[in-house]
A and B are shown apart, each in its own frame.
Chain A
Amino acid sequence: MNGWIDSILQGVMLGAIYALFAAGLSLVFGVMRLVNVAHGDFIVLSAFIALWLQRITGFSSPFLTLILLVPLMFLVGYVLQRVILNPAFGADILRPVLITFGLSVIIQNGLLQGFSADSQKLHGGKLEVASIALPGGLAIGVLPLLTLGVSAAMIGLLQWMLYRTKLGRALRATSADLSTAGLMGVNTSHLFAMAAGIAMVTVAVAGVFTGIRASFDAVSGPDWLIFAFEAVIIGGLGSLWGTLAGGLILGMAQTTGARFSPGWQLLSGHLVFLAILILCPRGLFPRRTE
């Protein structure tokens, strides 16, 4: 019995990472209807930049690199959206998607060139092995617990930003009706770029947390992207709390599947994803309107 509880607990912790992967994807899709195929690669890119920052600054903890990484990735997201993706928006919804596909190839090959194909890891020091003992011989790692907290806080912040701030109101209005938002005085190019920048902030955080938890290499991005996609779709497109729930469900499906056989971990995650897609095609918590 304890084994099952442990699996579910570990699944929640794993799912927190997936929710972190998916938060930015969900925001960008919700606001711009844009599927960013390079999302996973940007997470890997963040992890590599954190690694490099730690090397040149001598920061003892990879978390400290976030001080520089977060503004840097915000800027990357803003400029990318404003200069490359915004002009591609229009009647053809495939065009921006193809551009992100191209970005994915560029990032992977750039990382191969700059950091070689070697597998890398961020070192979190003592935090990585610290754990809290629970009754019944169970234990929770401090790092996964921290990840869960950060993941939930991040989604909560995004939700607050979207529903309680002027920026969020304008984002939702622009998402509903681009040209009428322009009539209200909203510079929609700037606003989309802000959304992309904010999504990149979640990417930076996801990159650091994932880089500490697991090893990564230049081509890990697509694997991570799949989990992010699945979390978003399980939760329902455009719903941020749904994305958190989707991440947790995916994580739990994987760890409980792994109890049967280690080889089943990924398969059981995909199977649960497919089952949910068949039973509720719009996800578990689809956005009410539209």
Chain B
Amino acid sequence: MNLLSVSKLNAYYGDFQALFDVDFHAHPGEVIAIIGANGAGKSTFLNAIAGNVTGRGNSITFAEEAISGLRSWQIVSRGIALVPEGRRLFSSLTVEENLLMGAYANTKDAWPLTHIYETFPQLKLKAKQSALSLSGGEQQMVAIGRALISNPLLLMCDELSLGLAPMVVHDIYETLTTVRERGVTLIIVEQNVRQALAFADRVYCFQEGRVSLTGRAGELKPEDVSRAYFGLAGAA
């Protein structure tokens, strides 16, 4: 049984088509990595699921409910949270206020703040500071905390490691491991292919708005991955 299933998703920015007939599914508790070059449509795909980009057709089903066509604010309360690319913290809010914004929609099932502070102890010390006064890694923790506090069934992370030091990336993936152990389904968009293959159960590779390769992380051959990623050698 699939938690999320997407069939023949097409998404557009104005007249520009960013996704072509994307098929995708995720089982409950599964960790999926999406890899691909810049502009392959990875972020668009996450944003289409989150309702920020409207896809065409009735093609996205989550927990046996059609969610295509819903607005982003209606989708959160169904249990989907997105950590957007570039973190997108609210600049005029404190760390704590940013975290609380994540609980805006799901007040009943939301995690208590103390849970988030147990997961990210250093945030507690900086709770009253402006979110933008934090280091990049701490800001990423706020962004993840803000998504986790809504107690999602599906957590989508867009380019978590972008611009962060390797040590910080390591810490963040440690945290994601505890999230995964809780049974949360994860979709991770990751530039670092090695990181993605090591962390995920299954991988989708996007190329120019299409799924170019998919399979279990351990079973993919490196040459297939690089062909699917760059779209070069295998043309013939």
A119 at the interface (CB under 8 A from B): no
B179 at the interface (CB under 8 A from A): no
| Chain B residues in 8 Å Cβ range of A175 | 92
> Considering only CB atoms, which chain A residue lies closest to B86 in the complex?
A180
B44 shortest CB reach to chain A, Å = 14
- Give the contacts of B96-125 with A (CB-CB under 8 A): 97-98, 100-102, 104-106
B140 shortest CB reach to chain A, Å = 14
| Interface locus among A122-130, A185-193, A195-203 | A185-193
Give the interface centre of B72, B82, B97, B100 by most chain A CB atoms within 10 Å.
B72
Q: Given the complex of chains A and B, what is the CA–CA distance between A187 and B72 in angstroms?
A: 9
Q: Given the complex of chains A and B, what is the CA–CA distance between A36 and B132 in angstroms?
A: 31
Interface residues on A, range: 20 to 34
Which residue of B91, B93, B105 is within 8 Å of A185 (Cβ)? Answer: B105
Q: Given the complex of chains A and B, what is the CA–CA distance between A184 and B81 in angstroms?
A: 8
- Give the contacts of B64-106 with A (CB-CB under 8 A): 71-73, 76-77, 81-82, 84, 88, 90-93, 97-98, 100-102, 104-106
B106 shortest CB reach to chain A, Å = 7
A172 x B73 contact (CB < 8 A): no
B99 shortest CB reach to chain A, Å = 11
B100 shortest CB reach to chain A, Å = 6
B73 x A177 contact (CB < 8 A): no
A184 x B105 contact (CB < 8 A): yes
> Considering only CB atoms, which chain A residue lies closest to B146 in the complex?
A184
B228 shortest CB reach to chain A, Å = 29
| Chain B residues in 8 Å Cβ range of A289 | 91-92, 130, 132
B90 shortest CB reach to chain A, Å = 4
Q: Given the complex of chains A and B, what is the CA–CA distance between A179 and B76 in angstroms?
A: 13
Q: Mark A79-116, 1 if CB is under 8 A from B, else 0.
A: 00000000000000000000000000000000000000
| Chain B residues in 8 Å Cβ range of A179 | 52, 72
The answer to whether A185 and B104 touch (CB under 8 A), given A179-B72, A180-B84, is yes
- Give the contacts of A238-290 with B (CB-CB under 8 A): 287, 289-290
B212 shortest CB reach to chain A, Å = 28
> Considering only CB atoms, which chain B residue lies closest to A180 in the complex?
B88
Interface residues on B, range: 20 to 34
A95 shortest CB reach to chain B, Å = 19
A56 at the interface (CB under 8 A from B): no
Q: Given the complex of chains A and B, what is the CA–CA distance between A12 and B104 in angstroms?
A: 40
- Give the contacts of B125-156 with A (CB-CB under 8 A): 130, 132, 146, 150
| Chain B residues in 8 Å Cβ range of A180 | 84, 88, 90
Which residue of A173, A187, A188, A287 is within 8 Å of B101 (Cβ)? Answer: A173
B40 at the interface (CB under 8 A from A): no
| Chain B residues in 8 Å Cβ range of A186 | 73, 101, 104-105
A134 at the interface (CB under 8 A from B): no
| Chain B residues in 8 Å Cβ range of A169 | 93, 97, 100-101
Q: Given the complex of chains A and B, what is the CA–CA distance between A33 and B26 in angstroms?
A: 41
Q: Mark B32-58, 1 if CB is under 8 A from A, else 0.
A: 000000000000000000111000000
A53 at the interface (CB under 8 A from B): no
The 10 closest A-B pairs by CB, nearest first: A185-B105, A185-B76, A182-B72, A180-B88, A176-B90, A173-B90, A289-B92, A184-B101, A187-B73, A184-B104
List B residues at the A interface (Cβ < 8 Å): 50-52, 71-73, 76-77, 81-82, 84, 88, 90-93, 97-98, 100-102, 104-106, 130, 132, 146, 150
Q: A172-B92, A185-B105, A289-B130 are in contact. List 10 more A-B contacts (CB 8 A).
A: A166-B100, A173-B90, A176-B93, A177-B88, A179-B52, A181-B90, A182-B52, A183-B84, A184-B104, A186-B105
